[in-house]
Every structure is written in C-alpha cells, then in structure tokens.
Structure 1
C-alpha cells in the first residue's frame, strides 16, 4: 500500500506479480533520454548529488530534472543507458506529481548513491500523500505511481515536519 509515513515498497528484481499487473519490464516502451544543456535558468553549481537542488514548481522543471538525472547517472556515475532511461521516466513522474498536486512554489531534487543502490528523492511542502491507484488498460492518466512501483526496486514517502519526500531506489551493479 502506498502513501504510508516512512513506508517503503520493496520488490524482488524478478517479481512475477509485475507481469500480473500488466507491465513486465520487457514491455515498457523506451523513453528517449533528454539531450542538451540542463538550463541557463538553473544555478550552474547545482549538484543534486551533493545536496538538494531547488526547482520552480512548473511543468518546464520536469525537463530540467530529467536532464539532471540523465547527466548524473550516465556521465557522473557511469550507469547503463537503460537504468538511466527508467530513472529519467520515474523522476518525471515524481516531479509531475509535485507540480500538479501540491500547490507548491518550488520542489527539491536529490540523488544519492550507495553501494549497490541509487536513490532519487523529490521533496515538496505538501503533506498530502500520493496514492497508488489500480490502473486499467484504457486509462489516460494516473499511471505515474504505477510506473514507479513497476520500475523501481523500492519506493516510499517520508513525511517531514513541513512536507514530504517521495523517493525511489533502484539496484545497480557496482564496478
């Protein structure tokens, strides 16, 4: 169940239930990785691996968050293009939720790497919890957390004194 305080959602890598949910990893359509510079509007010293990067809560910020994610995962951490592609998609979903549903002026993006894992967090000032909804084949919206649940190894929400952090984690092969 999603949306519980400090609740994580672990899943084994080869989860047969994922196929039952209608979206095994092999059927996910690839999302093109963003290209081009991050943005001149973004502080050039912004580094989501060193601390939280604050972005304005508007739709254009999803593109900035995607480019930051791709740059960190591919260039800085040298992870696989497929892993970066999935992470870019999931960041886009979390940022979209923060922009559409919180009424915030800004949100924060942070990326962490520890042995065998990456974790990406989106923090916003709303304490409204996201909810994983059942997804039907013909649904045109409401699939964001379904994708996060399907493509990540763990995800969750941590309530903060003022707001929340929605996060996902993915296993990575350390070299």
Structure 2
C-alpha cells in the first residue's frame, strides 16, 4: 500500500459543466454516486468514470483506460467482499492528478495478495498497486474509503 491520505481537491471551474451520466444516476465528479450491490454496478461505474475522464476532463486514452479498469476492480471488490447494500463512487481532479474513491460500510481492509501466473481471480488490488501511482484506505466511523490516484501527464 502506498500510504494513507485524506487530502483531495474539489473540481475546478475549468472542468466545465457536468456531462450527462449514464443512466442519469449522477456525476461522481460533483458528488458521491450511490451504486447498488449488483454485478452490473461495475459496468455502471466504468461508464461513469469514462464519461468523467474522457468527456468532461478530456484526458488521454491511456490514462482513461487504466483508470476505468481500476474503477471496475475497486467496485467489483466492494461488491464481492463487503456485503454492503450499496457503495459510493467519487472522482476528484487537480492539475496532473485524478483521484478515485470507492466507499463502503465495511471496516474490513482489502488485502494485497501475491499473484501467481495461473491465478484466475484475486488480481484486483494487484492491478491497482501496479497501475496506480498511489492507493490506500481511509477508515471511517462507519466503513472505509478505498482510493487510488493516477497522474494525468498535465503540468
């Protein structure tokens, strides 16, 4: 784990107006979007992330693709391992950095396990650890926020 951090930046005026979110369920760049504990929520989260990264923020495809993959992994982990009825997705941007947060009501910490070549599952946090610039978990009074940050190449 890269460390714990609670600092994040609010969207800046240069971000422009919020795009229409898939399914009209909200915009994770404006406020937390609640997703039900259903397998299709990972797909919804990918769509929300792609809309924010590409449409709203105009970030490069390489950053968008890796970030969308990691959003799917964190949401999928929360669905599979927390027993939560719902979870929250939030995205922040500041120059050169995107931060994605997935909140759930479980205080159980995610575990970064060793990954072997023939493993068919358990690669989610391994991917987060390898592809993100930093990631961590903030424990809350009722649950936790698992987050990661990606550099965007902006200066």
Give the alignment's TM-score, normalised by structure 2.
0.86
Instruction: Kindly provide the CA deviation profile for residues 105-127 of structure 1, in whole angstroms up to 9, marking residues without a partner as x.
Output: 00000000012110000000000
1:7 Cα deviation after fit: 2.7
Question: Aligned residues, how many?
Answer: 140
1:87 Cα deviation after fit: 0.6
Q: 1:62 aligned to 2:46?
A: no
Instruction: Kindly provide the CA deviation profile for residues 38-81 of structure 1, in whole angstroms up to 9, marking residues without a partner as x.
Output: 22xx53xx111111000101101101000000111001000011
For residue 141 of structure 2, what is the aligned residue in structure 1? 161
For residue 7 of structure 1, what is the aligned residue in structure 2? 4
Q: How does 1:10-49 map to 2 (within 5 A)?
A: 38-39=22-23, 42-43=24-25, 46-49=26-29
Q: Detail structure 1 runs of 4+ shifted over 6 Å in the superposition.
A: none
SS, match of residue 61 in structure 1: helix
Name the larger-Rg structure.
Answer: 1
Question: Of residues 81, 105, 111 in structure 2, which corresponds to 1:131?
Answer: 111
Question: Of residues 112, 116, 128 in structure 2, which corresponds to 1:148?
Answer: 128
Give the alignment's TM-score, normalised by structure 1.
0.76
Mark the runs of 5 or more structure 2 residues left unpaired by the alignment: 6-20
CA RMSD of aligned residues (A): 1.6
SS, match of residue 7 in structure 1: coil
SS, match of residue 22 in structure 2: coil
Mark the runs of 5 or more structure 1 residues left unpaired by the alignment: 9-36
